[in-house]
Amino acid sequence: MSLAPAAHERGVTTLTLDSPANRNALSAGLVTGLSEALAACAADEAVRAVVLTHTGNTFCAGADLTAPADPHAFVALMRQIIALPKPVVARVTGHVRAGGLGLLAACDISAAGPGATFALTESRLGLAPAVISLPLLVRTDPRAAARYYLTGERFDAPEAARIGLVSIATEDVDKALIPVLDGLRRASPQGLAASKELVTATVLESFDQHAEDLVARSAALFASAEAREGMTAFLERRDPAWLL
C-alpha cells in the first residue's frame, strides 16, 4: 500500500504515507493515492484539517527512481495541497530527501522531531530540485536554499525551522501539534479557507508562472546521460563517474 487507511479524530483526518519498501518514495501509486485522499478530505464537511505523516524512519525519500511519478502529476499534487481549502499539517519524525522536501514545503504548517533530517540530493545525481522549487523557493531563506541546492548537505530539524522549511522543530512532535490542531478546530471552515487563500497566494503564483518550464527542465535532466549515470550509481551503491 502507498497510504494507510485514513484516521479521523474531532475534525482532523490523518493521512499516513505507508510504503516502507521504497521509503515512501514518490511513485505513481503514492502520488495518485494521496491526491485521491486529499480530494476526499476537501469534499468532506466533517474534515476541518488534514495531518500528513508517515510510517517508518522516512517521511519521503523523493522520487522513486525505479517507478517515478509523472512530473505533471507531482506538480498537481503539490498545488492541490496548497490550494486545498483546509489546512494541511505535516508531522515529520524521519528523513526527508529531494522531492520529499517539495511535499513538505507544500504543507501549511509542519512540525519535525529530533529524528528528522533533510537533504536536497538532486545535484549529486546529475539532477536539480526543479519542480519542487515551486513551493520551496517561495517559503525558504534564499541563502540557505542556495547552499543546500548546490551542496546536497544534510541538515537537521532546527536548521529546517531556521530557514523556513518547517514551522516547528521540537523534541516531541505530537505534544507540539496539540495547540496547533486545537487552534484549527476552533476556527470556522470559512475562516480557515479565506485565511489560507491569503497565505498561499504567492505560492500559487509561482505555480502559475513557472510550472510548465520547470517540468520541462526536470524531464530534460532525467533524460540526460549524466543523470542516468548518477541514478545508476545510486541504485548500485557506487560512486558516480564524476566524483573527484
Q: pTM value?
A: 0.96
CATH architecture entry for 1-172+189-244: Alpha-Beta Complex (3.90)
Report domain extents, the chain.
1-172+189-244
Q: Integer distance in angstroms from the first to the last C-alpha of the chain? A: 40
Mean pLDDT, the chain, whole residue set: 97
Q: By CB neighbour count within 10 A (0-12 exposed, 13-18 middle, 19+ buried), where does 5 fall?
A: exposed
Give the single-character DSSP code of 130: -
191-236: pLDDT as tens digits: 999 999 999 999 999 999 999 999 999 999 999 999 999 999 999 9
Find out whether 27 and 100 touch, Cβ atoms under 8 Å: no
What would the 3-class secondary structure string for 89-123 be?
Answer: EEEECCEEECHHHHHHHHCCEEEECCCCEEECCHH
Asked if residue 1 has pLDDT above 70, the reply is: no
73-97: pLDDT as tens digits: 999 999 999 999 999 999 999 999 9
